Amino acid sequence: MHKHHRALGLASVPNNAVTGIDVARSCPAEPVTLVRPHAARRAARFFVEKFPGRTLYAVKANPSPDLIRILWDAGVTHYDVASIAEVRMVRATLPEAVLCFMHPVKAEEAIAEAYFGHGVRTFSLDSMEELDKIVRATRAPDGTPAADLTLCVRLRVSSDYSKLSLASKFGVSPVEAKELLIAARQVADALGICFHVGSQAMTPDAYAQAMERVRQAIVEAAVTVDVIDVGGGFPSSYPGMEPPPLELYFETIHRAFEKLPVSYSSELWAEPGRALCAEYSSLIVRVEKRRGDELYINDGAYGALFDAAHVGWRFPVTLLRDTESRTKPMAFSFYGPTCDDMDRMAGPFMLPADIAAGDYIEVGMLGAYGCAMRTGFNGFGTARTVTVADEPMTTLYAGRTAEPASNVVKL
């Protein structure tokens, strides 16, 4: 029995619940997005219960309103939004949520609409220009400056421990941080320091090192700080990228936070994107053609597999067939459906050697930066969504929270 086969996971699923293989049996001609509300709920409970501070969901990882409602119901009350469209969408979905506008470079109109129209009070910045912009955009019509701003200065930190760098675009350098922290302190009701260690940080050391930067910045600027925001970067599990347990990240962050001169008076925040939603969804694709070890599938670089194509990300795959293959797994690469040569996913993706046109594959762990990236290029943009109750292909959370790790779907 090959462990690539989905049938293994079915034992724990309630009899009447839909699973990935049921969807494959219906022979869909277009890709199908599977969503697993129980997986998102479990991840959210884990962060809410175990992260030693406040958890903000970074909406860009997966902006699905359904997902956002699930996270809210599981106790996530704060949302990291990065564009005015995200502000509007989360506000329309969750009227009571706290929104934090954490893109360090914003349009002045977006700041004003967020502040006056949607109650946003928390903004990040990494330059004096942005600070001036925020102050201007939030002034009352009579010119009175806003007295209720939480301003988070984004520090530049190393992405050395992460699979996807976020080190070059944003963040104030250690030399400029002092001046910006002092200036922001003067106009902020609450002052924060934030950073992002890069996505899929493979060791907690990434945060320890960044927190050392934070400590130096606080000491040099000699300001009081009310919020320490360690950003995103919390990993999920993929082939060849199995991270240490998230508890170790939380312990490392907590220890570093306690060593800061401001820990007694400040709040600790985190902004996980990937870790909260990677397990939420996967994708069923059909093999339209096989050429040697290359499979032509009906989704790709312009669909949910952007990262698989452009940064060589390896997602787990499984063959969905009623009768199990008796052949050994071998390495395949994928071509997506568009006419573009770049619509290619190198993998390697391990699948049974007898896979052929007409077979269905589930590509797992696409809840973060997968389904969110879909475009309509070349007419291949559609994917139906089906809620399923089976387990995601891998999980960091099963049996790790007070929630029963069952598959009960609450629709």
Ligand X SMILES: *Cc1c(COP(=O)(O)O)cnc(C)c1O
List the catalytic residues.
339
Give 132-140 contacts, CB < 8 A, sequence gap 24+. Answer: 133/106, 133/108, 134/106, 135/187, 136/108, 137/108, 137/109, 137/111, 137/112, 138/111, 138/112
Q: Which of 54, 121, 185, 196 binds ligand X (CB under 6 A)?
A: 196
Q: Which amino acid is at 58?
A: A
The residue (of 31 and 198) whose beta carbon lies closer to ligand X is 198
Between residues 285 and 305, which has the closer beta carbon with respect to ligand X? 305
CB of 219 to ligand X, least distance (A): 24
Phi and psi torsions of 80, nearest 5°:
-90, 110
Q: Closest separation between CB of residue 103 and ligand X, Å? A: 7
Least Cβ distance, residue 260 to ligand X (angstroms)? 20
Binding test (CB under 6 A) with ligand X, winner from 86, 126, 130, 271? 271
Given a contact cutoff of 8 angstroms between Cβ atoms, the answer to whether 103 and 111 are in contact is no
Nearer to ligand X, 55 or 282 (CB): 55
Least CB distance to ligand X at residue 278 (A): 9
Burial of 267 per CB tally in 10 Å (0-12, 13-18, 19+): middle
Question: 274 or 286, CB closer to ligand X?
Answer: 274
Residue that the structure tokens 């530049």 belong to: 156
Q: Which is nearer to ligand X, 81 or 188 (CB)?
A: 81
Judged by CB under 6 A, which stretch of 1-9, 227-235, 287-295, 298-306 contacts ligand X? Answer: 227-235
Q: How far is the CB of 51 from ligand X (least distance, A)?
A: 12
The site map against ligand X for 51-90 (x = CB under 6 A) is -------x-xx------------------x----------
DSSP annotation of 241: B
R_g (Cα) of the chain, nearest Å: 22
Least separation in angstroms between residue 332's CB and ligand X is 27
The pattern of x and - marking residues 311 through 340 that bind ligand X according to CB under 6 A reads: ------------------------------
CB of 59 to ligand X, least distance (A): 9
* Residue 390 · residue 19 · CB < 8 Å: yes
Identify residues 231-250 at the interface with ligand X (CB under 6 A). 231-234
Of 93-132, which residues contact ligand X (CB under 6 A)?
102
The answer to whether residue 199 forms part of the interface with ligand X (CB under 6 A) is: yes
For the chain, the first-to-last Cα distance in angstroms comes to 34
Site size toward ligand X, by CB under 6 A: 17
93/81 Cα distance (integer angstroms): 13
Residues contacting residue 55 through CB under 8 Å, at least 6 positions apart? 44, 47, 48, 76, 78, 269, 270, 272, 276
Is 268 a binder of ligand X (CB under 6 A)?
Answer: no
Instruction: Report 356-395 residues binding ligand X (CB under 6 A).
Output: 368
* Closest CB 11 distance from ligand X, rounded Å: 32
Residue closer to ligand X (CB basis): 154 or 321: 154
Give strand ranges (E) for 224-379. Answer: 227-229, 267-270, 281-291, 294-297, 317-320, 329-335, 344-352, 360-363
Query: Residue 192's CB: how many other CB atoms inside 10 A?
Result: 24
Q: Which residue is nearest to ligand X (CB)?
A: 232
Name which of 62 and 266 has its Cβ closer to ligand X: 62
Residues 275-294 that bind ligand X (CB under 6 A): 275
Tell me the three state secondary structure of residue 229: strand
- Three-state SS for 57? strand
Q: Counting contacts by CB under 6 A, is residue 156 touching ligand X?
A: no
Q: How many CB atoms lie within 10 A of CB 333?
A: 15
Residue among 4, 6, 213, 274 that touches ligand X (CB under 6 A): 274
Beta bridge partners of 229: 194, 269
Identify the burial level of 21 via C-beta atoms within 10 angstroms of its C-beta, where 0-12 means exposed, 13-18 middle and 19 or more buried: buried
Beta carbon nearer to ligand X, 31 or 367:
367
The residue ranges that bind ligand X (CB under 6 A) are: 58, 60-61, 80, 102, 196, 199, 231-234, 271-275, 368
